[in-house]
Chains A and B, each alone.
Chain A
Amino acid sequence: GQSLEQPSEVTAVEGAIVQINCTYQTSGFYGLSWYQQHDGGAPTFLSYNALDGLEETGRFSSFLSRSDSYGYLLLQELQMKDSASYFCAVRSDSWGKLQFGAGTQVVVTP
């Protein structure tokens, strides 16, 4: 079957670093995406990794290891506004279909 596993919740204080892991088992793999969703809002795209390694975009970085079927999203210098749900998603075909994980709720405390 197809599955994506990520932790359900992570709590951290402002200024800290948080790593959200994602392991996947899917029938097709073209890349791993990360989306952010604030309460009551729509998911928005954060990053995409098609090749192994680290991609950095400001305070957020994303990593992929295709041989381990594993990736992570790293949130640095946490801010209160980073409190949200974060979803990993596997691009499972060449046209752009995504399969999402259940999401990780990140709670940032003062």
Chain B
Amino acid sequence: DVKVTQSSRYLVKRTGEKVFLECVQDMDHENMFWYRQDPGLGLRLIYFSYDVKMKEKGDIPEGYSVSREKKERFSLILESASTNQTSMYLCASSPQGRGPYNEQFFGPGTRLTVL
């Protein structure tokens, strides 16, 4: 079974702190994604990566950065956390999409609260 794990289920941080959210997948997927999920807004793409050392901005990258030093690991970084970054953060991975479809597999999510 594909497994995507995230470093924390719940996290509480202070405004201005640097926050690291880690995601690891064990299926040798090329693609990895970070989303945030807020009520009524669905899943919004923050950053994604199609290969090691590669990163692309999604729809809402402001205030975030990412790192992909190894194929299985994709980290989301909040350089200086703010209260409007309180949200559920979801990581996903998928195989590269040359086939008819490429299902995304999601981790359990990290609920981040910034005080």
Contacts and interface: CB of A to CB of B under 8 A. Distances in A.
A pairs with B: yes
Contacts of A8: 40
Contacts of B40: 8, 102
B103 A102 contact: no
Contacts of B35: 100
A58 interface: no
B101 A33 contact: yes
Interface residues of A, number: 26
B42 A94 contact: no
Interface stretch (B13-21, B62-70, B78-86, B92-100): B92-100
Interface in B100-115: 100-109
B74 interface: no
Main secondary structure of the interface of B (DSSP, over half): loop
Given A8-B40, A97-B45, A100-B42, A91 B101 contact: yes
Contacts of B100: 31, 48, 50
Interface in A27-61: 30-31, 33, 35, 41-45, 48, 50
B18 to A, nearest CB: 26
A71 interface: no
Contacts of A101: 42
A31 B101 CA distance: 8
Contact of B104 (A41, A93, A96, A102): A96
Contacts of B101: 31, 33, 48, 50, 91
Contacts of B103: 33, 45, 48
B90 interface: yes
B90 A94 contact: no
B90 A96 contact: no
Contact of B96 (A45, A48, A95): A95
16 contacts: A8-B40, A31-B100, A33-B101, A44-B106, A48-B100, A50-B101, A89-B43, A91-B101, A93-B97, A94-B97, A94-B98, A96-B95, A96-B97, A99-B59, A100-B42, A102-B42
